[in-house]
Amino acid sequence: MKSLTSVFISSILGASIALGIYHGVSKENTKIIVKETASDSSSTSENRPYQLTNYNNNSLPLNVDFTEAASNSLDAVVHINTRITVGQVNDPVYRLFYGNAKIEQKASGSGVVISPEGYIVTNNHVVADANSIEVTLNNSETYKAELIGTDPSTDLALLKVNAKNLHTIQFANSDDVKVGEWALAVGNPFNLTSTVTAGIVSAKARNIHILQGNYEKEIFPIESFIQTDAAVNPGNSGGALVNSRGELIGINTAIASKTGSYSGYSFAIPSNLVKKVAGDLAKYGSVQRGFIGVNLKEINTDLLQSYDLPNLDGVLIAGVIPESGADDAGIVPGDVVLAVGDIEVHNIPGLQEQIGKYSPGDSVPLLLRRGNKTIHKEVQLKKI
């Protein structure tokens, strides 16, 4: 239903931000791809999008110990190397020696083993367009990997290696992750294998506008990243973000930086979304994604007045698509989504993350505010 796609994409494709956003994949002999670069015309603090503050290590508790987390996760994080054939070189000297041969490019990243039978989750941008994919375990064993499926909407991909009894990582419930708790990034930055860095969860449900939408190809970006200050660099992409017990809370995907290297901000896909996408790719080869069928808006002071809302809580439903799940459930424009099940939602990325865990045909419980009352609705998701 084309009307649903056009309206839905208008609610999830936002303007790009000025801060540079980088995918953390390491490419040999190539520049890191930049989503949007900040102007380097001046180094004054007025033109910098963010400023870093001094960090006082003396404030850290003395009994912090990440050895258990590292031990539980290191063997489940792999090093991924790919080969990509790129276009011909328009250089007469090169063509004199090599003719019209195409160039083969190497790239590397990280991945996380999620099953003993050899399923590995990573970022789509780590393996995109690869001719061959090679996976190296923490014990240096190397395997050729098969690409099972990709999901550009979340920048996730699923690989499979022919191995048994692999060390896996346990999934944590990313809904339970709290801002301020410890987080460890495990991966292979700059081809330095088995690297662990520590930080805290800085924010949740962060949209950094890095994924490209294409509704004709049914690519609807879902960006609800966990933000952390654990050091993440090129090569970390697809690696694990774990809690202090070594349980997976996210897949490291991007950093905010002017240089392409760590500057204090990194972003990971929540583990609950990873679990849904990886499960669908393993079972179906593609993600089974359902939609409510609404046009959403963030609530600001202007909407507060125009819709006569009591506060800024929740996400405003500005429009409902005819014959959609929302329409069938009796949801109307002006309703405000306060929660999906037991999980409160405070912005559009957070709502997308919760809906993204469900499949077409699933009945999703919503807590809404209509006027001065709260109401419950069950919405059956439909496929576009």
Strands (E), 114-247: 119-123, 132-136, 142-151, 156-161, 182-187, 195-206, 225-228, 240-242
Confidence class of residue 256 from pLDDT cuts 50, 70 and 90? Answer: confident
Residue 39 in this model has a pLDDT that exceeds 80: no
Least confident window among 85-89, 133-137, 160-164, 239-243:
85-89
For the segment 331-358, the average pLDDT, to the nearest whole number, is 97
What SS3 state is found at 3?
Answer: helix
User: What pLDDT does residue 26 have?
Assistant: 53
DSSP designation for 139 = T
Alpha-carbon separation of residue 11 from 29, 213, 277, 317, 362 (angstroms): 38, 11, 22, 10, 22
User: What pLDDT does residue 31 have?
Assistant: 30
For the segment 10-31, the average pLDDT, to the nearest whole number, is 37
Q: What is the CA radius of gyration of the chain?
A: 22
CA 361 to chain centre: 24
User: What pLDDT does residue 94 have?
Assistant: 62
Please name which of 114, 110, 142 lies closest in space to residue 126, comparing C-alpha atoms.
110
User: What pLDDT does residue 200 have?
Assistant: 97
Do 112 and 122 meet the contact criterion of CB atoms below 8 Å apart? yes
Q: What is the pLDDT of residues 142-171, one digit of tens each?
A: 999 999 999 999 999 999 999 999 999 999
Do 26 and 236 meet the contact criterion of CB atoms below 8 Å apart? no
User: What pLDDT does residue 35 have?
Assistant: 33
The percentage of residues in the chain with a pLDDT greater than 90, rounded to a whole number, is 68
Q: Which domains does the chain have, with CATH numbers?
A: 15-39+63-71+169-283 (2.40.10.10), 79-161 (2.40.10.10), 294-380 (2.30.42.10)
The percentage of residues in the chain with a pLDDT greater than 70, rounded to a whole number, is 80
Helices 348-355 and 2-12, axial angle in degrees (round to 10) = 130
Q: Does the annotation count 59 as an active-site position? A: no
Least confident window among 133-137, 299-303, 322-326, 336-340:
299-303
Q: Does the annotation count 79 as an active-site position? A: no
Q: Does the annotation count 125 as an active-site position? A: yes
Catalytic annotation, pick one of 125, 202, 266, 271: 125
Angstrom distance (rounded) from CA 359 to CA 382: 8
Which residue type is seen at 127? V
Q: What is the pLDDT of residues 100-152, one digit of tens each?
A: 666 778 899 999 999 999 999 999 999 999 999 999 999 999 999 999 999 99
- Give the residue with greater pLDDT, 2 vs 250: 250
In sequence order, the 6+-apart residues with CB closer than 8 A to the CB of 168 are 76, 113, 114, 115, 116
Please name which of 225, 252, 258, 248 lies closest in space to residue 236, comparing C-alpha atoms.
252
Q: What is the pLDDT of residues 268-299, one digit of tens each?
A: 999 999 999 999 999 999 999 999 999 999 99
Across all residues in the chain, what is the average pLDDT?
Answer: 84
For the segment 227-251, the average pLDDT, to the nearest whole number, is 95
Catalytic annotation, pick one of 73, 237, 263, 324: 237
Q: Where are the alpha helices (DSSP H) in 230-312?
A: 271-284, 301-306
Q: What is the pLDDT of residues 172-196, one digit of tens each?
A: 999 999 999 999 999 998 888 889 9
What SS3 state is found at 45?
Answer: helix
> 108 forms bridges with which residues in the sheet?
26, 81
Structure tokens at 227: 């933000």
Catalytic annotation, pick one of 155, 229, 280, 335: 155
Which residue type is seen at 249? I
